[in-house]
Amino acid sequence: MIRAGLKMGLDLPGSVSFEPLQAPFESASDALARFDERLRSSPVAEAFILRAHFHDACAALWRAGEFVQLEDLVLHDAGMDVRTPTHELVRAHAVLLTRRRIADREPAWALTTEGLANLRGAGRSNDAVFEPTAGSGAMDEAADGELDDEDGETIITGEFAEIDELLARTSRPIERIQPAPPKRDDSGLVYDEDWDDQARLAEWRERLGRSQNLPPLMAASVALDAWEEIEPLQRSAWLGSLLAAALLRSRGKTRHHLTALHSGFRQAKFRRVGRDDLETRLIAFACAIEAMAKADSKELDRLTLARELLLRKCKGRRTNSRMPQLVELCLASPVVTVPLAAKELRVSQQAATTMIDELSSNLRELTGRGRYRAWAVI
């Protein structure tokens, strides 16, 4: 079946042997399907997905040769940086936001023309969007003329037209105004002037269409391999793994989560080099998926056990206690600090410190300091 699908779906070199691909992909497909089904009924499914976003964002920068601390990314996402954000941290946060956008939209949205344009920033307009108000229309008509008051006296309105227009414009909702995207450096010092994103994306989409007859997991591996070979985007090379994960979700292989492929490749033993042939790369992809699914299953077991232990601390408390919310925060966030807990739970830092101390037997302190401490679920 896999061999027939390969022949129908994609023109592979004749040197590729199809038999070695069957066992790795079937094993990886079964492991991924079992984990996705476990996630469907797990009480910590939402917490696992939220944590996976952070881990995958850090792994994406790790694959690019850069290192980002997980706790720094958590604090930066909450707007509570303890130091000036680095360029790597900003890029990791961009990966994090992109993963959330893909996970929150329809499964096939990221692979559409509109979705790709939106993800790469080409769908935004430089012009701000304004909507006229009832007052502004009357104001514009009276700007060039004169109005009569009730006593018949003539009032010159031209002098106040600019002030009234400014007040009307500033009173409109700020969210209706779309900020202009940052300008790209086309000087050739940073980016290649001859790099044609549109043509490369068209080539990648053409190769993606040729893999429609393949099984979902193999189609995702071919799509990711083509992305890394063609390199459609100069600035967002990490987007390929997110699109491959979106492909798995759109094909129904992962219905309940967006696969963290960057984390899977970080755990795998294989490292992509130029001398590897296509067969080796495809098998390595399957092995990485299987290793990732097994590691995620263990993480799910760990979070489930931690949740049971932490909820024991909530028994016998008042109905308005914030302790259960703190437990959910500790499960959903890889790192918890006192200011972060106080902000999310809307309590004082003293109250957050007291509750964290009560849960300290099931939390691990990460810093080893007496101040500016951080905790994580054991």
CA separation for the pair 226, 208 (Å, rounded)? 8
- Please tell me the distance from the alpha carbon of residue 106 to that of residue 36, in angstroms, as a whole number: 17
Q: What is the DSSP string of 289-308?
A: HHHHHHHHHHHHHHHHHHHH
Residue 47 CA, distance from chain mean position:
15
CA trace torsion 335, 82, 76, 292 (10° rounding) = -40
Between vectors from CA 225 to CA 220 and to CA 228, what angle results, nearest 5°?
A: 125
pLDDT score for 176? 42
What CA–CA distance (Å, rounded) separates 23 from 216?
Answer: 15
The set of residues, in sequence order, having a beta carbon less than 8 Å from that of 373 and lying 6+ positions away, is 337, 338, 365, 366, 367
Strand partners, 146: 156
346: left (phi > 0), else alpha (psi -120 to 50), else beta? left
Q: How far is CA 236 from the centre of its chain?
A: 13
What confidence score (pLDDT) does residue 127 get?
A: 34
pLDDT of 310? 93
- pLDDT tens, N- to C-terminus, the chain (378 residues): 444 444 444 445 455 567 788 899 999 999 999 999 999 999 999 999 999 999 999 999 998 889 999 989 999 998 888 888 999 999 999 999 999 999 999 999 999 989 998 998 753 433 333 333 333 343 344 334 444 444 444 444 555 666 767 666 665 554 444 444 445 545 444 455 667 888 889 999 998 988 888 889 999 999 999 998 888 888 888 999 999 999 999 999 999 999 999 998 888 877 666 567 888 888 889 999 999 999 999 999 999 999 999 999 888 888 889 999 999 999 999 999 999 999 999 999 999 999 999 998 889 988 877 777 889 997
Please give the angle made by the CA atoms of 266, 269 and 272, to the nearest 5 degrees. 80
- What is the spatial distance between Cα 204 and Cα 202, in angstroms, rounded to a whole number? 5
Contact 247, 205 (CB under 8 A): no
pTM equals: 0.76
Could you tell me which of 78, 72, 42 has the C-alpha nearest to residue 329? 78
- Structural element, H or E, at residue 337: strand 336-337
**Could you give the CA distance from residue 269 to residue 228 in angstroms, rounded to a whole number?**
18
Contact call for residues 283 and 21 (beta carbons, < 8 A) = yes
Query: CB neighbours (10 Å) of residue 91?
Result: 19
Q: What is the rounded radius of gyration, in angstroms, for the C-alpha atoms of the chain?
A: 27
If you search the block for the tokens 């799509």, which residue do you land on? 223
CB atoms within 10 A of CB 333: 23
How far apart are the two ends of the chain, measured CA to CA in Å?
44
